[in-house]
Amino acid sequence: LDKNVGKRKAQIAAIRRSSGDLVLNVDSDTTLASDVVTKLALKMQHPAVGAAMGQLVASNRSDTWLTRLIDMEYWLACNEERAAQARFGAVMCCCGPCAMYRRSALLLLLDQYETQLFRGKPSDFGEDRHLTILMLKAGLRTEYVPDAIAATVVPDRLGPYLRQQLRWARSTFRDTLLALRLLPSLDRYLTLDVVGQNLGPLLLALSVLAGLAQLALTATVPWSAVLMIASMTIIRCSVAAFRARQLRFL
């Protein structure tokens, strides 16, 4: 396009000018393994599949402590969350760095995608999640391909990381509301999964705030909250270390 008017407008322009059966979305800071297109296209052979995503890793993983943690976070998001959802053919967000779509489905959904509003204004965030939700609402499956590896650059400083997470969180909460009517038509596990994803961070934040309030008001350490959060963290990371066969999760 003549000027930068955002990712969504660029996507829509590219899709309308495309001619192939499949459209691959790749972020500009992402490098694909040589077999990614083949592996995603094989998954898309089934006509019921509207979109498929690959596994994301941090290309700059070794730069800082933060990039190493984000790389582990990506492993968890892909190989626990997306992999579990894919068992039911309903990955709730096909991530932008590496996602393949069926063009015939995209063309039917482009008007809804282009005209999405947030607080009365055209939406300028959450493109990946919203497009995935539209695919699911159209009755198509969304899949995850764990051996289609895409390496993407992740934030190496806390400020940019927190801004990114805030943007993603807004998208998650907003599009979860859009997906509520969709959930009963999907597996009951997915309803539990979506509720857990949205309530979990809120309950964690509430626990931390309650612990800090106890410390401030009574000058006593909230050991029960500390032990609960620590035990949950240890259990989850131990499971990840076992499944990935990688001690770095500990």
Q: Are 161 and 68 in a shared domain?
A: yes
Sequence length of the chain is 250
* Among 208, 207, 130, 202, CA closest to 171: 130
List Cβ neighbours of 122 (8 Å cut-off, separation of 6 or more).
115, 116
- C-alpha distances out from residue 53 to 24, 83, 200, Å: 10, 10, 25
Q: What is the predicted pLDDT for the residue at 71?
A: 97
Question: Does residue 193 form part of some domain?
Answer: no
Distance CA 201, CA 28 (A): 30
Write the CATH number for 143: 3.90.550.10
Strand partners, 141: 49
Question: Does residue 1 form part of some domain?
Answer: no
* Among 233, 119, 226, CA closest to 177: 119
Q: What is the predicted pLDDT for the residue at 218?
A: 94
| pLDDT band for position 175 (cuts 50, 70, 90) | confident
- Taking 90 as the threshold, does the pLDDT of residue 238 lie above it? yes
> Please, what's the b/e burial string for 42-78 (b: 16 or more CB within 10 A of its CB; e: otherwise)?
ebbeeeebbbbbbbbbbbbbeeeebbbebbbebbbeb
- Among the ranges given (96-105, 153-162, 169-178), the one the predictor scored with the smallest mean pLDDT: 169-178
Q: What is the predicted pLDDT for the residue at 72?
A: 96
Question: Does residue 217 form part of some domain?
Answer: yes
How many separate domains does the chain show? 2
* Among 74, 30, 81, 34, CA closest to 55: 74
Q: Are 138 and 226 in a shared domain?
A: no
Give per-residue pLDDT as tens, 67-80: 999 999 999 999 99
Q: What is the predicted pLDDT for the residue at 50?
A: 97
Quote the mean pLDDT of the chain: 93
Is there a contact between 100 and 23 (Cβ–Cβ < 8 Å)? yes
Give per-residue pLDDT as tens, 32-71: 999 999 999 999 999 999 999 999 999 999 999 999 999 9
| pLDDT band for position 119 (cuts 50, 70, 90) | confident
Range of the domain at 76: 7-186
